[in-house]
Structure 1
Amino acid sequence: MNGKKVLFVSSELVPYLPENPVSLMSYEAPRMVNSSGGQIRIFMPRYGNINERRHQLHEVIRLSGMNLVINDMDMPLIIKVASIPRERIQVYFIDNDEYFKRKATFRDSEGNLFPDNDERAIFFAKGVVETVKKLNWSPDIIHVHGWMASLLPLYLRKYYSDEPLFADSRIVTSVYGKGFEGDLDSEMINKIAFDGIDKEEISALVKPDYNNLLKVAVDHSDAVILASDELEGDLKEYIEKLSKPVLPYVSLQEAEEAYTNFYKTEVLK
């Protein structure tokens, strides 16, 4: 991976959030690329339960300040950064007081999904792209982890389809077995359509559950990684029918060799 630029976009990442399959692999995959000479950037949401003082987050004024339109509302974009010291890896945080100030990730104190999780996902996808544009950094690979990041492939391929910075970027989506129970807001499909994206492209989101979100993500990706050995419902069968490269599940111990080979032979070919 020497010299290759890889953009990692994730819902969760250790050490900023508790360890789970998404947050752990979102750390390990960039570490692998970094150690093999690749250039990396990592993006995640700045949830309110991330301790800014402990992890030394600070705002980047030159990247902040723009407004993103979400369902006809102007929402200010704030960019913060921090470093994972032992790996010398910099992480960019997408922030907005309305969407990410609350002291939790996806659910309220009673265990209910936040009603605006759909808008948070749209804001995150747009925020990542707009920030990478400001950085003027053209990635060879964009690797997506976790459902909060799952709209990024769609927005890159449709909303930002004319953006030259990403013209040659290849999108990889890792699909995890553990998602969320229930549905996001029923108006999600209309909020995305507000951005000029054809409803036929996102017809699965008539029912915005975890599996359908990931179906939209893999539909607009160039390659897929099965990041869990068991997927819920019909998701695995749906992925197996895709006419694009799919890396079967491998353990963490095998991941470095398998991911690197997949990047080189299937994604960048």
Structure 2
Amino acid sequence: MEKNKLKILMVSPEAVPYIKSGGLADAVGALAETLARAGHEVGVVLPLYSAIDYTKNKLEPFHSPMEVYTGESRELCAVHRSISSSGVNYYFIEYNAFYSRDGIYHDPDFKDFTDNAKRYAFLSGAALKLCLDIGFKPDIVHAHDWQGAAAMAYLKIWYHSDPILSSAKGFLTIHNLGHQGVYPVENYNYLGFGWENFTSDKYEDHGRINLLKGGMFFADAVNTVSPNYARETLYGGMDEGLGNFLHSKGNKYFGILNGADYSEWDPSTDKFLPANYSSEDLAGKRICKEKLQDEFKLKRHADVPIIGVVGRFAYQKGIDVIASVIDGILQNMEIQFVILGTGDKSLEHFFGDLPKRWPGKAGSYIGYSNELAHLIEAGSDLFLMPSRYEPCGLNQIYSLRYGTLPIVRDTGGLTDTVEQYIEADGSGTGFLFKDLNSTSLYFTVGWAISTYYDRKNHMSKMIQSAMAKNFSWEKAAEEYLRAYRGIL
């Protein structure tokens, strides 16, 4: 093996282009592909959900049957594979009792599957057993979120003296500390961790199992997806009850900023846009604005700013605070507003009715459309993202590249990527505010709108600065490689 070439096995519940419910899928797929393009040998293990299109994604049978031992039984599964153009081996674990369902983590009514602890511990066990069966000796086993975290324990508990896996180091990425995989203790025997590890520093959490906390204990290094979110989880009151355990990792807990996939999100090449554009020639952005106004039945006004929103209607995203002020903003400010998203039913109803209350000024799309998401990023003048917390965030990074200045809360990865506007000289790339409440949001939007109308030279300068920013996955991958080598 070449001196600098690493063998990396990732364990994740989702990854683009195969299955996606959120930003985790984007991060896993992009990181794996970037590492492979840099010459490393990368495998990604995923569940074979019923939602994955077997033919479209060019899956093929790979290994069957495969025995996977649990704490209670021996299970038989099958493994399928798809190889990407970059050479990443994506392995899919077929076990219909766990993965052939209508939903990934929950049913259509958003109720968690009660056996999720077993489903994802099985995924980790299958990933490591696959290494044994095919002779893949990883340098790094990289687990993502609580769903992959059991792999960290199995490396140390089951495979500490195995000739294939004993030398592998465990690396755990926390994409969102708010999701920890806490489930009833009745599942614990099946997981096979041993009752000696059901302690308050490992898996026990108020009488229940906490899969993320146990994974953190056994991992050789733990990271989260932006430096500022790492600081907030250590010192900023955003530890979600795990602060002591994060502190116990010392310098083995840190933040690495996610990248953006500029092959997908770049206005100069974006296939979803009616016209492409760049910082040197913004004419296409005006065409995108007209198209956006037409799509959302807004009046065509080239000089009225459009504020765009794309995101889940979830408490984390602060969409409820937008709902509390948007009528006042539309009444008192000369703007247009578009929103795309789904989630909380009351918010879906509220924003679904918004165009009726403000015809020609507001538009909404309840659901998700990738094409419309791209159009909103390109056609809007400002992008609103008032998150309560944001481990990294991607839409603000896309907005920068599209010359759509972000209005964001000063938190997590938003702080790491958006630079505050300075009125004295017109520097900065967006508008940040600290306190998440109706007043702060209203007046920060007002500040951005006044800048749009009254300081056009500053807007132009900020757009140029924003579009020049580079948050590529190549940069992020280099940091991951340094972190991997730091534990080898």
How many Å apart are 1:164 and its aligned residue?
1.6
How many Å apart are 1:52 and its aligned residue?
1.1
Structure 1 position 267 matched with structure 2 position 269: no
Pairing of 1:92-171 with structure 2 (within 5 A): 92-171=91-170
SS of 2:50's partner is coil
Which whole-Å CA distance do the structure 2 matches of 1:150 and 1:214 have between them?
Answer: 6
Residue aligning to 1:207: 208
Indicate conservation of the 8 Å contact 1:150/1:213, yes or no.
yes
Deviates more, 1:175-184 or 1:23-32: 175-184
How many Å apart are 1:32 and its aligned residue?
2.6
Deviates more, 1:172-181 or 1:31-40: 172-181
TM-score (norm 1): 0.86
Indicate conservation of the 8 Å contact 1:11/1:147, yes or no.
no
Indicate conservation of the 8 Å contact 1:116/1:185, yes or no.
no
Which whole-Å CA distance do the structure 2 matches of 1:83 and 1:185 have between them?
Answer: 37
Residue aligning to 2:83: 83
| Identity of matched residues, % | 22
Indicate conservation of the 8 Å contact 2:143/2:171, yes or no.
yes
Residue aligning to 1:216: 214
How many Å apart are 1:203 and its aligned residue?
4.0
SS of 1:17's partner is coil
Which whole-Å CA distance do the structure 2 matches of 1:83 and 1:158 have between them?
Answer: 31
Which whole-Å CA distance do the structure 2 matches of 1:179 and 1:75 have between them?
Answer: 31
Which whole-Å CA distance do the structure 2 matches of 1:241 and 1:199 have between them?
Answer: 17
Change (3 A) 1:27 1:203: closer
Deviates more, 1:212-221 or 1:241-250: 241-250
What is the aligned-residue RMSD (CA, Å)?
2.4
Please list the CA deviations of residues 83-131 of structure 1 after superposition, one character each: whole Å capped at 9, or x if unmatched. Answer: 233x232200112011111132110111111111111122111111111
Deviates more, 1:14-23 or 1:49-58: 14-23
SS of 1:187's partner is helix
SS of 1:65's partner is strand
Indicate conservation of the 8 Å contact 1:247/1:262, yes or no.
no
Q: Which runs of 5+ in 1 are unaligned?
A: none
Which whole-Å CA distance do the structure 2 matches of 1:17 and 1:179 have between them?
Answer: 21
Deviates more, 1:227-236 or 1:101-110: 227-236
Which whole-Å CA distance do the structure 2 matches of 1:181 and 1:161 have between them?
Answer: 25
Q: Which runs of 5+ in 2 are unaligned?
A: 234-238, 260-470
Q: Which residue of 243, 255, 263 corresponds with 1:248?
A: 255
The one-letter code matched in structure 2 to 1:224 is V
Deviates more, 1:255-264 or 1:213-222: 255-264
Indicate conservation of the 8 Å contact 1:48/1:103, yes or no.
yes
Indicate conservation of the 8 Å contact 2:172/2:219, yes or no.
yes
Which whole-Å CA distance do the structure 2 matches of 1:136 and 1:251 have between them?
Answer: 31
Change (3 A) 1:149 1:251: closer
Which whole-Å CA distance do the structure 1 matches of 2:106 and 2:179 have between them?
Answer: 10
Which whole-Å CA distance do the structure 2 matches of 1:154 and 1:106 have between them?
Answer: 22
Please list the CA deviations of residues 200-238 of structure 1 after superposition, one character each: whole Å capped at 9, or x if unmatched. Answer: 464425323xxx321111111111111252655133552
Indicate conservation of the 8 Å contact 2:203/2:211, yes or no.
no
Which whole-Å CA distance do the structure 1 matches of 2:479 and 2:71 have between them?
Answer: 40
Change (3 A) 1:49 1:152: same
Which whole-Å CA distance do the structure 2 matches of 1:215 and 1:83 have between them?
Answer: 33
Change (3 A) 1:186 1:223: same
The one-letter code matched in structure 1 to 2:54 is E
Indicate conservation of the 8 Å contact 1:159/1:196, yes or no.
no
